[in-house]
Amino acid sequence: MESIILPCKSVFPTISELPQNFHPKTKLPINFVPNTEQSRFTDTHLDYLCKNGRLSEAITTLESISQYGYKVKTETFSRLIESCINEKSLYLGRKLHKEMNFLLEKVDPFIETKLLGMYSKCGSLQEAYEMFDKMRKRDLYAWSAMIGACSRDCRWSEVMELFYMMMGDGVVPDSFLFPKILQACANCGDVETGILIHSIAIRCGMISEIRVNNSLLAVYAKCGLLDCAKRIFESMEMRDTVSWNSIIMAYCHKGDIVEARRLLNLMHLEGVEPGLITWNILIASYNQLGRCDEALEVMKEMEGNGIMPDVFTWTCLISGMSQHNRNSRALELFREMILNGVMPSEVTLTSTVSACASLKDLKKGRELHSLVVKLGFDGGVIVGNALVDLYSKCGKLETARLVFDMIPEKDVYSWNSLIGGYCQAGCCGKAYDLFMKMHEFEVSPNVITWNVLITGHMQNGDEDQALDLFWRMEKDGNVERDAASWNALISGYLHNGQKDKALSFGFKPNTVTILSILPACANLIGAKKVKEIHCCVLRCNLENELSIANSLIDTYSKSGGLQYSKTIFDGMSTKDIISWNTLIAGYVLHGFSSEATKIFHQMEEAGLKPNRGTFSGMISSYGLAKMVEEGKRMFSSMYEEYRIVPGLEHYVAMVNLYGRSGKLEEAIDFIDNMTMEHDISIWGALLTASRVHGNLNLAIHAGEQLLKLDPGNVVIHQLLLQLYVLRGISEESVTVMRPRKRNHHEEPLSWSWTEINNVVHAFASGQQSNSEVPDSWIKRKEVKMEGSSSCNRLCIKEEENENITRVHSEKLALSFALINSPQSSRVIRIVKNLRMCEDCHRIAKLVSQKYERSPTDSETYSSMLEKVGIHVMIKLFLGSKQMVLSISEAICCIAMMSDVFPSWLVNDFVHSFEHRMSYFINTNFSFGNLFISIEVSSGKIRVSSSPARVPRRDMSVKGPPLSVR
């Protein structure tokens, strides 16, 4: 008769009911006789409890029956372990492991492997390692469990170590384990191990396995071995979606988006439909390359194929726009994502908050903050850091501090965000206090922390503290200085106007360094320094960086080397819209409107669409050529064809277009019909045009508008007073707001700079050295130039007359350059911050004529002043001698060349300057209230001056007579 087992609830004696000296292993109850029926009952009962979700009760039952010596089947124990894994109960799993030796007849490797997997899947990798180390026998399954545990925890380097240990034990992975190891190779970039596994797979006959092939393909793709990946892909008999995704990703990593797109189209032809992952790979690649608009088009195409974008798709697009400074578009995409019912992830919110921070849009930032709280991401350190950065950039430091305090586990970037906010607000003291508190919270400042503090102190003018931090980085902070540390100092010095200090550091620059320094050399006196920086770019192999090439084009053109700009442009393998715009702007700056137009047409033929910068340059180009109709058509096409809203720079270019062509009425009508608020640049352009074409009333109107916008500007006030005088209005009757009067303690308005022997020298109007320069020095006889014609432009000057401010700064710079320039120099380059007066124009032309330069040189000099207003370039032959004179002595030389001194003295000076001399001449004389001494000895000339007490004139010549070689 078959035995029938009735289900019932068994009650086992508790531990308290057992004798105190009871030991299950050695002593059993007298009446205990284990049999098969009881074992079957126990296993069935435990299975019943597990299936009904009563795992805790099952484990308690096991603890009770183990004391009576009952055993369970291996299968039952395995199912209990599986239940612990399913419920993620590490506590119950540990209790089960504790009873393992009492409940099983024999502990086999299968159960040990199962327990190992339980520990790893329940989040205790350390206990998994302990279990693994205690295993008596490690078979393929044990190694697979341990490698799988490390793989799930993304411990790729440990996977690699386990693989080599496994091979040392003589255990070869199978086709299921190889992909996990190859995944670790790909993430570690260990291509050598990948090649080793490839050879093992070939020897073991697993090369036909599609999973192995896909994993090998992924390794070669991520490690940049595109040719190997391509060979594997082409040799595969079967290809699934994973295969196509891997090869497409390989081409995306190489930046070959065209080939990646071709492969996606080929998928359709071979009957494999691209999935969401395939499209996301392509979209992410477009965004990384900065081609965000094309990424949007790919997303629309994906939707057309019936695949809806997920949160990863939207996050790629939003972060791509944010990273490429298209923050407004990033916010629009975030709004579209929400309207499409896609919930943002933590990464999505971080990118969107960062876009708000860049725009300093506090209102939208607060809305995002409320959404972060609503979705439960407010405790996340990544989003928290972005919010701290947002409020810091918007000037809400108290709110930023509140968000900072609410972040439960702050990392170094949390501290950096708040420290950076205080530095940007000028609160460097509070930033430094936070820096010191980092040590209390056991957070070590990194190089970014130090660099943020250095930058903050430099921008707030505390150079000493910045330098102290810079030198303490390595000594006190054990943080190695990087290129950004040097860049922080360099950009700070440039920000404070100390270009010499910025250019004095000697270290290996990076892209940021070059891009910071080059704009400081974008003037005529920086031409030599630009070439030195260009050589540094070549030595550091940075010439292929698109941003650096564009910056070199711009800097060379602004420093007078337009031919170098064109050479760099022609040699570029890749050109973007900035490259074309920069060259166009260079041609416009130098007055070559026809060349600028030619470059514009070449750009259109290359398939590039013009942007805001292109239109600004081209309208200015048509203004130079006085092609009014073409300029008007260009301005109209901005919005009509390209949907670009004109900006202030385009309106200024249009005013210049009308003004240069003498269409002043059209210019004022255009200004009156402007949709945007009038700026200083608008009225400045109109004032220049009115001056050139002699329209006094319009010039006064423009000057008055300028003074309203900038009432404290002394130059504008002076210009307007001159206009009133020209109109017959006395200065006393003028009621315009007067700026505060300057005193002798204030810095002069007029400055000029010139470069001699790699040193930039600055000169201010009225500057003196050893002795006073009397007013009689600056009174010149009018120099009548041959062929000069009357000019109909209004004679208004940005700088006061020399009888008020004494000698103008450009004359000081010119005389200093004449005396101190190297013998081989044929060009003197001077930069001035104001427009040069007519008298200084004539002096420059006279100097050019004195040294028999062609009239073209003077015309070049004058035309450049007309175009730029501050650049002076005079070509002349300096002779064979190099003389070092003080500033007052240099003024004396210029005065002699202006025919102030007697002709006999000028002739002697010119002869001694142009020829080698073997005689000694000492000339003393009085001029005005000065005593002048000129001494020539062995080819050296020295001029000195001192206040004259008694008028005297004495000339003595010693040594052999004048001999000319």
CA dihedral (18, 21, 22, 23) in degrees, to 10, reads: 150
Give the β-pairing of 827-832 and 871-875: antiparallel
Assigned token pair, 627: 């092609």
Helices (H), 207-275: 210-222, 226-235, 241-253, 257-269
Q: Select from 216, 141, 146 the least CA-distant residue to 183.
A: 216
Assigned token pair, 560: 């007078």
- With pLDDT > 90 as the criterion, what percentage of the chain qualifies? 17
Tell me, what's the pLDDT at 516? 80
**Cβ neighbours of residue 233 closer than 8 Å, sequence gap 6 or more:** 217, 239, 243, 246, 247
Q: Which residue has the tokens 């305090």?
A: 405
Assigned token pair, 194: 């990948």
Task: Work out the widest C-alpha separation in the chain, in whole angstroms.
Answer: 153
Euclidean distance between CA atoms 217 and 244, whole angstroms: 10
**How many C-beta neighbours within 10 Å does residue 240 have?**
13
Euclidean distance between CA atoms 263 and 272, whole angstroms: 11
Euclidean distance between CA atoms 17 and 254, whole angstroms: 74
Integer angstrom CA distances of residue 578 from 131, 553, 567, 958:
62, 10, 16, 66
pLDDT above 50 (res 634): yes
763, β-bridge pairs: 752
- With pLDDT > 70 as the criterion, what percentage of the chain qualifies? 71
pLDDT above 60 (res 887): no
Note the pLDDT tens digit of each residue in 510-542. Answer: 888 788 888 878 777 777 788 888 888 888 888
Note the pLDDT tens digit of each residue in 172-224. Answer: 888 888 888 888 888 888 888 888 888 888 888 888 788 888 888 888 888 88
Euclidean distance between CA atoms 833 and 868, whole angstroms: 10
By mean pLDDT, which of 36-45, 233-242, 596-605 is the weakest?
36-45
Q: Which residue has the tokens 């506090």?
A: 362
* Cβ atoms 705, 676 nearer than 8 A: no
Assigned token pair, 13: 């004696």
Integer angstrom CA distances of residue 124 from 56, 268, 363:
20, 45, 45
What does the radius of gyration of the chain's CA atoms come to, in whole angstroms?
A: 41
DSSP string for residues in 535-584: HHHHHTT-TT-HHHHHHHHHHHHHTT-HHHHHHHHHH-SS--HHHHHHHH
The mean pLDDT of 313-318, rounded to a whole number, is 93
The mean pLDDT of 449-456, rounded to a whole number, is 87
Q: Select from 731, 758, 906, 895 the least CA-distant residue to 822.
A: 758
Assigned token pair, 635: 């301005």
Q: Select from 70, 77, 89 the least CA-distant residue to 47.
A: 77
For the chain, counts of helices (H) and of strands (E): 49, 8
761, β-bridge pairs: 754
* Cβ atoms 610, 618 nearer than 8 A: yes
Euclidean distance between CA atoms 97 and 81, whole angstroms: 9
By mean pLDDT, which of 43-52, 270-279, 818-827 is the weakest?
818-827
Q: Select from 243, 321, 317 the least CA-distant residue to 275.
A: 243
Euclidean distance between CA atoms 420 and 235, whole angstroms: 54
Note the pLDDT tens digit of each residue in 548-579. Answer: 999 999 999 988 889 999 999 999 988 999 99
Q: Select from 853, 750, 731 the least CA-distant residue to 802.
A: 750
**How many C-beta neighbours within 10 Å does residue 197 have?**
24
Residue 631 backbone zone (phi > 0: left; psi -120 to 50: alpha; other: beta): alpha
Q: Select from 839, 794, 799 the least CA-distant residue to 702.
A: 794
DSSP string for residues in 73-133: -HHHHHHHHHHHHHTT-HHHHHHHHHTHHHH-SS--HHHHHHHHHHHHHTT-HHHHHHHHH
pLDDT top residue among 262 and 476: 262
Euclidean distance between CA atoms 446 and 480, whole angstroms: 9
Note the pLDDT tens digit of each residue in 390-421. Answer: 998 888 989 999 999 888 888 888 898 899 88
Integer angstrom CA distances of residue 961 from 78, 913, 920, 958:
120, 16, 9, 8
* Cβ atoms 162, 125 nearer than 8 A: no
**What are the backbone angles phi and psi of residue 764, rounded to the nearest 5°?**
-115, 150
* Cβ atoms 656, 682 nearer than 8 A: no
* Cβ atoms 495, 468 nearer than 8 A: no
Tell me, what's the pLDDT at 657? 93
Q: Select from 759, 772, 801 the least CA-distant residue to 891.
A: 772
Question: What is the residue-averaged pLDDT of the chain?
Answer: 75
**What are the backbone angles phi and psi of residue 953, rounded to the nearest 5°?**
-140, 125
Note the pLDDT tens digit of each residue in 910-942. Answer: 454 444 333 344 555 554 444 556 565 544 555
Integer angstrom CA distances of residue 334 from 279, 327, 393:
19, 11, 21
Assigned token pair, 396: 């809400």
Confidence class for position 669, pLDDT limits 50, 70, 90: very high
930, β-bridge pairs: 927, 947
Confidence class for position 767, pLDDT limits 50, 70, 90: low
Tell me, what's the pLDDT at 337? 94
**Cβ neighbours of residue 946 closer than 8 Å, sequence gap 6 or more:** 771, 930, 931, 933
Half-sphere exposure of 343 (CA within 13 A, CB side): 7
* Cβ atoms 366, 374 nearer than 8 A: no
**What are the backbone angles phi and psi of residue 923, rounded to the nearest 5°?**
-120, 125
Name, of 584-598, 747-761, 832-846, 869-883, the range with top average pLDDT.
584-598
Tell me, what's the pLDDT at 961? 32
pLDDT above 60 (res 792): no
Q: Which residue has the tokens 């192999």?
A: 541
CA dihedral (38, 40, 41, 46) in degrees, to 10, reads: 130
Element spanning 484, H or E? helix 483-495
Residue 659 CB-density burial (10 A; 0-12 exposed, 13-18 middle, 19+ buried): buried
* Cβ atoms 403, 385 nearer than 8 A: no
**What are the backbone angles phi and psi of residue 755, rounded to the nearest 5°?**
-115, 125
CA-CA-CA-CA torsion sign (525, 531, 537, 539): negative
Q: What amino acid occupies position 191?
A: V
Confidence class for position 103, pLDDT limits 50, 70, 90: low
Euclidean distance between CA atoms 55 and 261, whole angstroms: 53
* Cβ atoms 565, 557 nearer than 8 A: yes
**How many C-beta neighbours within 10 Å does residue 368 have?**
23
Assigned token pair, 40: 């079957």
* Cβ atoms 260, 267 nearer than 8 A: no
**How many C-beta neighbours within 10 Å does residue 544 have?**
11
Tell me, what's the pLDDT at 332? 93
* Cβ atoms 173, 199 nearer than 8 A: no
Note the pLDDT tens digit of each residue in 81-95. Answer: 777 777 777 777 777
* Cβ atoms 146, 132 nearer than 8 A: yes
Euclidean distance between CA atoms 182 and 314, whole angstroms: 30
DSSP string for residues in 612-636: HHHHHHHHHHHHHTT-HHHHHHHHH
Confidence class for position 636, pLDDT limits 50, 70, 90: very high
Element spanning 36, H or E? helix 36-51
**Cβ neighbours of residue 732 closer than 8 Å, sequence gap 6 or more:** none
